[in-house]
Amino acid sequence: MQIAHSTRRALLASTLALGLGGCGVSYVSPLVRDTASDNVDVVEITGQSIAFANSAPYTPRGLPEVFSRTAGSGGGLRGAGALPEAPAVPQAQPGPLDLRPPPETTPPTYRIGVGDVVQLATRVARPTGEAALGEAPAGELRQTYTVRDDGAIAIPDVGAVEIGGLTIEEAEQRVFERFIETGADPDFSLEIAGFNSQGITVGGDVAAPTRVPVTLNVPTLDEALTAAGGLQVTTPEFASIRVYRDGTLYQIPLADYDRDGRLRSIQLLPGDSVFVDTAYDLDRALAYYTQQINAASLRRTERTAALEELQAEVGLRRDALDEERALFRARDELGAVPRDYVYLTGEVTQQRRYALPFGQQATLADALFDQGGFETETGNPSQIYVLRATPGEEDVTAWHLDARSAANLTLATRFELRPNDIVFIEEQPITRWNRAFQQFFPSLVTTASSAVD
């Protein structure tokens, strides 16, 4: 029995020795440096070498022209008809702008209007001790009144006094006369505390369209635009500042406004409307045609038909663009569109081919992290390679990135990829041993068990 046990131990030892002896051929993993030959040149990726790597000529494939076309451009569609012609109105299309500034004028004296707030200060008997609540230290009682719709203010013990349409001096005279008529002490002062009845509207391409109140000092054109936050013009070559006053439309091209300081100092008048208008673009095409059709005073039925035709044309063009773009995407998904690819292998999250984008360069970082990066548990961050073949030759350049220092990953954001590059990440040494052992161990146990039996 003892001899039988010794024989079994010897057989088990022999089996282990044979298995371990065969371990070197039980698992083979791809490496770069160990298999490098005369036609493989390993080059470190550094800030200096990146410039040489990126010098390899490559022009990214471009998207079809349909992706740069808008619904407002291009020729007519079959069955859709042409866009309605613009009515014959002055300056219907962008072109040179005439300078038509408003005439020089002097603002009239401010006249009180509906909604204005006036403050009336009257003398009161000084009470003994401290001043009563609401009284000024000098024995004055200050009260505010809002001008009603009928132009009057209602003063206690005096009654309604109509001051709408009067200057401040005329209003003081009217209140004085009313005080004398009612026997009140005519020792008072009157001033405007809130200017609400008159204003200048500012709109168009400004930061904050607003209504600028007119006070005793009427603002200039520059002051009104500043109150609206300043100009917000994207196409200054076609922009103009238009002032509407008493039924007349004045025009100041923005180029003249910027060049001539006198235009910025134009004196506005109460009731003026200032509008900053810019050139036409695709976003405003529909609004432009709508305005021009309305401006031509077409009959209602003709105007409706023209607008419907315009909307149908723009809608058909938009649908056609969407259909062409969807068709291109479908062909791309089916692989019917020529693309440039980079191949990811080794210890990446997903071994696959990465399509280089249209119209722009892609970097090593783009390919690595597009779908999750690489396996940090099994992948060796010190052995990241971009394998690039020399066109027409058998030579291969292995661009090596050592990412044990995470800061070196910034180099990956600058390294540009080229068609048919292979991004390869080696496995960790411990990973290589574990995988070899996982393949070897089941067969070892089976062999050993057979030997023992």
Give the model's pLDDT for residue 237. 78
Q: Is there a single domain that holds both residue 211 and residue 261?
A: yes
**Has residue 319 been placed in a domain?**
no
96 vs 100: CA distance, rounded Å = 13
Same domain, 219 and 244: yes
CA distance 89 to 82: 20
- Looking at the fold, whether 138 and 203 belong to one and the same domain comes out as no
Q: Which two tokens stand for residue 320?
A: 């056609």
Name the average pLDDT for the chain: 78
What is the separation of C-alpha 12 from the centre of its chain, rounded to a whole number of angstroms?
73
Yes or no: say if 423 and 367 are a contact pair by the CB < 8 Å rule.
Answer: yes
- Closest alpha carbon to 342 in 380, 374, 368, 360: 368
- Is 132 a domain residue? yes
CA 62 to chain CA centroid, Å, is 23
142: CATH: 3.30.1950.10
> What would the two tokens of residue 415 be?
């390294």
Does some domain include residue 330? no
Segment 24-53, tens digit of pLDDT: 445 677 777 765 566 888 899 998 899 888
Tell me 34's DSSP state.
Answer: T
Residue ending a domain, among 279, 298, 315, is 279
Q: What is the pLDDT of residues 326-358, one digit of tens each?
A: 888 888 888 888 889 999 988 888 888 898 998
Is residue 37 included in any domain, yes or no?
yes
Cα separation, 349 vs 265, in Å, equals 67
Position 176 in a domain: yes
User: Looking at the structure, do residues 253 and 180 belong to the same domain, yes or no?
Assistant: no
* Confidence band of 79 (pLDDT split at 50, 70, 90): very low
Name beta bridge partners: 346.
425
Query: Does the pLDDT at position 81 exceed 90?
Result: no
Q: What percent of the chain has a predicted confidence (pLDDT) above 90?
A: 23
- Please tell me the distance from the alpha carbon of residue 371 to that of residue 384, in angstroms, as a whole number: 17
What is the reported pLDDT for 228?
A: 92
Selection from 279, 275, 292, 294 nearest residue 90 by Cα: 292
Whether 58 has a pLDDT exceeding 80, the answer reads yes
Is residue 140 located within the same domain as residue 159?
A: yes
Is residue 298 in some structural domain?
A: no
Highest mean predicted confidence (pLDDT) among 11-15, 55-59, 330-334: 55-59
**Which single residue is written with the structure tokens 């100092």?**
265
d(CA 370, CA 75): 39
End-to-end CA distance of the chain: 14
Q: For residue 50, tell me if it sits in a domain.
A: yes
Beta-carbon contacts of residue 437 (< 8 Å; ≥ 6 apart): none
Is 182 in the same domain as 204?
A: no
List, as one string, the DSSP characters of 340-351.
-EEEEEESBSS-
Structural domains counted in the chain: 3
237 and 187 in a common domain: no
* Mean pLDDT lowest among 255-264, 365-374, 396-405: 365-374
Q: Quick one: 220 and 176 in the same domain?
A: no
Q: Which residues pair with 152 in a beta bridge?
A: 162
Q: Are the beta carbons of 353 and 371 closer than 8 angstroms?
A: no
Q: How far apart are CA 202 and CA 259, in angstroms?
A: 21
Q: Are residues 166 and 231 in the same domain?
A: no
Same domain, 182 and 213: no
pLDDT above 70 for 202 = yes
- Percentage of the chain surpassing pLDDT 70? 73
The residue assigned the tokens 């990135």 is 401
Tokens 């810019």 belong to: 278
* CA 350 – CA 353 distance, rounded (Å): 9
Say if residues 112 and 192 touch (Cβ distance below 8 Å). Answer: yes
Tell me, yes or no, whether 189 and 207 share the same domain: no
Range of the domain at 229: 199-279
Burial 155-191, CB ≥16 within 10 A → b, else e: beebeebebbebebeebbeebbebbeeeebeeebebe
Q: Are residues 273 and 359 in the same domain?
A: no
Q: Which amino acid would we find at residue 69? A: R
User: How far, in whole angstroms, is CA 375 from its chain's centroid?
Assistant: 35
pLDDT tens figures, 84-133 = 454 444 444 555 778 899 998 888 999 999 999 999 998 876 555 554 45
CATH code for the domain in which residue 267 is found: 3.10.560.10
**Of 194, 224, 248, which marks where a domain is finished?**
194
Is residue 322 scored above 50 in pLDDT? yes
Q: What integer is the mean pLDDT of 255-265?
A: 90
| Residue 29 covered by a domain | yes
